[in-house]
Chains A and B, each alone.
Chain A
Amino acid sequence: MKKLNALAALVASTALAAPMAMAQDMADSLTLVSWGGAYQKSQKLAYADPYLADHPGLTVTWDESSAEAVAKLRAMNEAGNITWDLVDVVAADAIRLCDEGLAMEIDPDDDLLPGDDGTSAEDDFGDLLVSDCFIPQIVYSTTFGYRTDMVGDTPPTEVCAVFDMDTYPGKRALEKRPINNMEWALYCDGVAKDEIYDVLATEEGQEQALAKLDTIKDDVIWWSAGADTPQLLADGEVVMGSTYNGRLFSVIEEQDQPVGMLWDMQVFDLDGWIIPTGLDDDHLARVQDFVKFATDTQRLADQAKYISYGPARASSAPLVGTHAELGIEMAPHMPTDPENSKNTLLYNYEFWADYRDDIDAKFQSWLAK
């Protein structure tokens, strides 16, 4: 660091001085990476703002790069210049980053606070600690929404309505990747829920899923951004479509569109923090302090005031209250609500970590035909 200082003094008269000088007071700054939009706003209101109130000298910078976090972190790591302190990623990406050695391993009981009810962090998060590097924040689900005015008198109650072109004619929106679609296709082709991944691991199973998807292929609009389906639903372009439950919540409750939720066979997934490897000590200390605060029982429960995603701690669930602006009870809009989670599927991380590239190749080849 002394060398750096000397160097900074040397080049003080040049434009290089600015980044150099900034490098010294980094401990007073925190760069958080998230998804932007309503989700990032909920994190800012629930975690960052209260933390800032306690730590006035701190500056928090948000970077909306979570969608390409894996590639960017790898590039930063290769360049030897990590500029992010804490990164919000989905669990599958956390596993990938952990495998690549780009995310730091954490010890839940050391790095996270115990629950308000006294349970240790490890038990409080429970099964949601799907990777050694992953600090869960929320449970979200990918599920279907439908146009209430385009389904006649019999609104769909189960996911296989997506494949039922006779009862529900019209376009559907599905994500342009195999994950989730293959599972739904097999499920609606008569495969028992607990056998889906065994079947999908076989060549025949993959063919079977694609054959089922073939029956609706001509009527599918494939989306790649989370905002696509809500917009397609609002425009009446599709009769039903899959997306994240929080997006549907905002279409239904905040924008008052004639859209209904189809919770059947929603696929649970997780989103949370990872700490990049290679942070310097003062930075790491700041991040660890922030993470402890931001993932405590109350903060996770607070986030549900702003967005309809379920808190990852078991101890947070009873504290979920009403929406900050709409004033409606949030619990019934949580994917984890007993009423909504009668029939669900948990994203199989291990399976997709292995099969993602292989099945994706087949899926894209099928799509292009």
Chain B
Amino acid sequence: MSDATQEQTGPMVAADGTPLKKSLARSLRMQKMRALALIAPLLIFVLLTFLAPIFDMLFRSVENQIVSDTLPETVVVLADWDGSGTEAPGEDVFRALYFDLFLAAEAKEHTKLGTRLNYEQVGISSLFRTSGRRLDDVGEVWQDWLEDIDDQWGEGAFWFEMMSGGPADGDVLSSARTRLATLTGDSMRGDIGFEPSEAISTLLPRTAREYTAWAVFTAIEDEDVVAEEDPWEAVYAALAVDLATPGKADDIAAYSGPGAAQLQAVAAQLDSLPPVDIKGAFADIDEDWLAIDNWAAIQVYSPKYTSGYFLNAVDMQLGPDGAEARPENQQIYLMLFRRTLVMSLAITFSCIALGYPVAWLLANLPARKANLMMILVLLPFWTSLLVRTSAWKVMLQQQGVINDVLVWLGIVADDARLVMINNQFGTIVAMTHILLPFMILPLYSVMQTIPPSYLRAAKSLGATNWTAFWRVYFPQSVPGIGAGSILVFILAIGYYITPELVGGTTGTFISNRIAYHISSSLNWGLAAALGTILLGVVLLLYWVYDRIVGIDNVKLGG
């Protein structure tokens, strides 16, 4: 007896001896996995082709790595500069800028950064473009000086011998690779046939850094042999910077590695070293380099992520002291957001007003007539959007069909023709026409499911026509209105071709500015920020709609 009780209270066991609970869970898990495997292709497809690009685009609205990627040393040194003061940054910042910008110019990345910063500060684009071309001249002063002392300084082979030899400094090489990889986006791996020596990188740190960067670039980007090429001007400038360091002559005297004799010959003539004034050199290239505003813009946009695009998108800007309002003559986006919402609502309501009776007719006419009407509804739906928009131009313009008829009838004087296009009215008319089918079709499919007997029952119980419609028919058609409104409103909010063509100046939408920033100004960050806000507003409205009407009340069909 006691044995039997024990068996009953113990865990239930499946045929193979495992506890039933476990076995059940396993088989359920198997089923779930199988179901997941079945939808996996679609799921992966949607994730890869739909969601990933959207998030990638949205991510651009905060991404700002280009500044620190292109000018890595500059942004670090510049962090200590007081952006709200009246002094341009000091020599150390300009030195960092010179070496950063030189490498960027060789890799042809500096103009990209110029374009990026020009969105924030006018004039940086051409400042970077013209300076990039003239940076070579800066280093030539010291190159000439060195070659005057000894011709060997102009020879790539000598440089190679001096910089390599002895135990290698792996840190310098790997940081040069990282620096170039961040700058260009290429991997920069692979053998370059050169390793900077530890002795030289201790003695001449800046020179070793720039020479190694040059070597990596020469070997991997240009696919040349490092030992056979002459280094670029920035290396000479780097050597000048090292030589100008106080006490360097003594260090050189103590140095005995390759190139010691030549270095000591140079050290002996240090008095005649052309002054290392990179700030002055930049000022010679373009005096805008001394402008506080330019540096403030670089400093403000140094971080890898920025709120700048979002601030721009709401008519603000990022200044040295944080967010501030944009000058009034540049404010436009908030007004456009408001206008887009208000006009989209107006279009939605006019679609309801025009679509409801049509859908009712469609649902209640005999099949033959209803089919004919359906074709009339669908026909414009199949016509190109551009054609329909252009047709409205012909209809509405001042010398257009409607005005001509009104003038002919004598309703409107010839010199006071109505302005019906290139304004909000034109946009609302054209877009209502274009979006009407999106309202009619869901309304129709919902109305079809409302039995006509309900109306008859209401009337037989004494309701007037209006009461029967309003109390019995209309509430049942609300899900159709909901579905149609959501479709029309969301489509309207993103329209840009029609507003562009018939909107003039007062009928354009926020999407027109987004399109401008995507295709003309290439300010994709701002376009992404505007798009993100628009998406947020739509989701918010959807949520509000769900709270008020309830999303269960939306029906696209019976």
A364 with B513: CB separation less than 8 A: yes
Contact of A354 among B123, B500, B513 (CB under 8 A): B123
B331 beta carbon closer than 8 Å to chain A: yes
Chain B residue numbers with a CB within 8 Å of A235 are 397, 399-400
Alpha-carbon distance A236/B112, docked complex (angstroms): 45
Size bracket, chain A contacts: 35 or more
Chain B residue numbers with a CB within 8 Å of A222 are 422, 504-505
Residues 312 to 367 of chain A near chain B (Cβ within 8 Å): 350, 353-358, 360-362, 364-367
Q: Mark B515-543 against chain A: 1 for CB-CB distance below 8 A, else 0.
A: 01011111100000000000000000000
Contact of A364 among B111, B332, B500 (CB under 8 A): B332
B399 with A74: CB separation less than 8 A: no
Residues 315 to 339 of chain B near chain A (Cβ within 8 Å): 329-332, 335-336
B126 with A354: CB separation less than 8 A: yes
Chain B residue numbers with a CB within 8 Å of A214 are none
Alpha-carbon distance A357/B114, docked complex (angstroms): 13
Residues 109 to 166 of chain A near chain B (Cβ within 8 Å): none
B32 beta carbon closer than 8 Å to chain A: no
A100 with B521: CB separation less than 8 A: no
Chain A residue numbers with a CB within 8 Å of B119 are 357
Alpha-carbon distance A68/B497, docked complex (angstroms): 14
How many pairs, one residue from A and one from B, have CB atoms within 8 Å of each other in the complex?
85
Q: Mark B113-127 against chain A: 1 for CB-CB distance below 8 A, else 0.
A: 011001100111110
Chain A residue numbers with a CB within 8 Å of B124 are 354
Query: Whole-angstrom distance from the CB of B121 to the nearest CB of chain A?
Result: 9
Query: Whole-angstrom distance from the CB of A14 to the nearest CB of chain B?
Result: 15
Chain A residue numbers with a CB within 8 Å of B519 are 67-68, 70-71
Chain A residue numbers with a CB within 8 Å of B555 are none
Q: Mark A60-97 against chain B: 1 for CB-CB distance below 8 A, else 0.
A: 00000001101100100000000000000000000010
Alpha-carbon distance A71/B501, docked complex (angstroms): 21
A189 beta carbon closer than 8 Å to chain B: no
A100 with B332: CB separation less than 8 A: no
Chain A residue numbers with a CB within 8 Å of B500 are 224
B269 beta carbon closer than 8 Å to chain A: no
Q: Which residue on B lies nearest to A232, using beta carbons? A: B397
Contact of A101 among B109, B122, B522 (CB under 8 A): B109
B23 beta carbon closer than 8 Å to chain A: no
B398 beta carbon closer than 8 Å to chain A: yes
B505 with A368: CB separation less than 8 A: yes
B108 beta carbon closer than 8 Å to chain A: yes
Q: A237-B398, A362-B329 are in contact. Are A99 and B129 (CB under 8 A)?
A: yes
Contact of B112 among A67, A100, A361 (CB under 8 A): A100
B506 beta carbon closer than 8 Å to chain A: yes
B335 with A358: CB separation less than 8 A: no
B111 with A98: CB separation less than 8 A: yes
Query: Whole-angstrom distance from the CB of B297 to the nearest CB of chain A?
Result: 12
B330 with A361: CB separation less than 8 A: yes
Alpha-carbon distance A86/B109, docked complex (angstroms): 22
A358 with B398: CB separation less than 8 A: no
Contact of B115 among A99, A236, A237 (CB under 8 A): A99
Alpha-carbon distance A225/B124, docked complex (angstroms): 30
B125 with A353: CB separation less than 8 A: yes
Residues 223 to 256 of chain A near chain B (Cβ within 8 Å): 224-225, 235-237
Alpha-carbon distance A71/B522, docked complex (angstroms): 7
B504 with A221: CB separation less than 8 A: yes
A365 with B108: CB separation less than 8 A: no
A368 with B332: CB separation less than 8 A: yes
Q: Which residue on B lies nearest to A131, using beta carbons? A: B129
B521 with A350: CB separation less than 8 A: no
> Which A residues form the contact surface with B (CB < 8 A)?
67-68, 70-71, 74, 96, 98-101, 171, 176, 207, 221-222, 224-225, 235-237, 350, 353-358, 360-362, 364-368
> Which B residues form the contact surface with A (CB < 8 A)?
108-109, 111-112, 114-115, 118-119, 122-126, 129, 329-332, 335-336, 397-400, 422, 500-501, 504-506, 508, 513, 516, 518-523
Q: What are 13 A-B interface contacts by the 8 Å CB criterion?
A: A74-B522, A100-B112, A222-B505, A235-B397, A237-B398, A350-B126, A353-B125, A353-B126, A354-B122, A354-B125, A357-B122, A357-B521, A368-B335
**Additional A-B contact list (9), CB under 8 Å, known A224-B501, A358-B122, A367-B505:** A68-B519, A71-B519, A100-B522, A101-B112, A221-B422, A237-B399, A364-B513, A365-B331, A368-B335
